[in-house]
Structure 1
Amino acid sequence: MAALVLVEVSIHNPELYEEYKKHTLATILKYGGRFVVRGAQTESLEGDWNPQRLVILEFPDIQAAKDWWASPEYTIAKNIRYQAANSKMLVVESLFPIGQ
């Protein structure tokens, strides 16, 4: 079953975050992932949740998402993100097969 990675990001160094973005796409593609949401405008419908940036990724399964997150390729990008932003990230199994 497909998996979604949800990421809430608060950027404090926009220039460095742009560098992070340059390194990320190839790592996601390598593990069968794709962007579903990438920084689109959000609007809170309930509660006080209003992330500065929200990213949702889709992977073939939870293991592929974990393999991507722990990969040497993404670790390089991840270390840049750690310097440029504060993030919260989780993985969840999707109800639908990938791409549907």
Structure 2
Amino acid sequence: MSAFVLVEVNIQDPELYEEYKKLTPASIEAYQGKFVIRGNPIQVMEGEWNFDRLVLLEFPSKAIALEWYNSKEYQIAKKIREKASSANFFIVE
């Protein structure tokens, strides 16, 4: 069963965040993942949206999505993201 990783991001350092964006795609592809949604702007139709960016990733399974998130490849990118932004990550099967 496919698993989706939903990410809400607030960017504090746009230049540094661009470095994160360069590193992330290869790490996702290495785990058979793909971007479904990558970016902004968001048009709110109901409720509130208080983030700069929305990303939705699809992986073949929850186990593979978790392997990606915990992988050495992503941990390098993650350290950059943590310096450049704050984010919420969710996984849904």
Q: Above 0.5 in TM-score?
A: yes
Question: Where do residues 36-55 of structure 1 align in structure 2 (5 Å cutoff)?
Answer: 36-55=36-55
Whether the 8 Å CA contact 1:39–1:53 is kept in 2: the answer is yes
Which SS does the other structure have where 2:66 is aligned? Answer: helix
Give the 3-state SS of the residue equivalent to 1:66 in structure 2: helix
- Deviation of the 1:48 alpha carbon: 1.5
Q: In the alignment, what sits opposite 2:3?
A: 3
2:69 equivalent in structure 1: 69
1:70 counterpart letter in structure 2: N
The Cα shift of 1:23 comes to 0.7
The normalised TM-score by structure 1 is: 0.89
Offset from partner CA, 1:33-76 (integer Å, 9 cap, x none): 00000003211122122421000000001011100000011000
The answer for unaligned runs of 5 or more in structure 2 is: none
Question: Given the two structures, how large is their TM-score scaled by the length of structure 2?
Answer: 0.96
Identity percentage of aligned residues: 54
Structure 1 gap segments, 5+ residues each: 94-100
- In the alignment, the residues of structure 1 paired with residue 74 and residue 37 of structure 2 have an alpha-carbon distance, to the nearest angstrom, of 19
2:69 is paired with a residue whose SS is helix
Give matches, 1:14-93, under 5 Å.
Answer: 14-93=14-93
Distance across 2 between alignment mates of 1:49 and 1:22? 25
* Runs of 4+ off more than 4 Å: none
Aligned length: 93
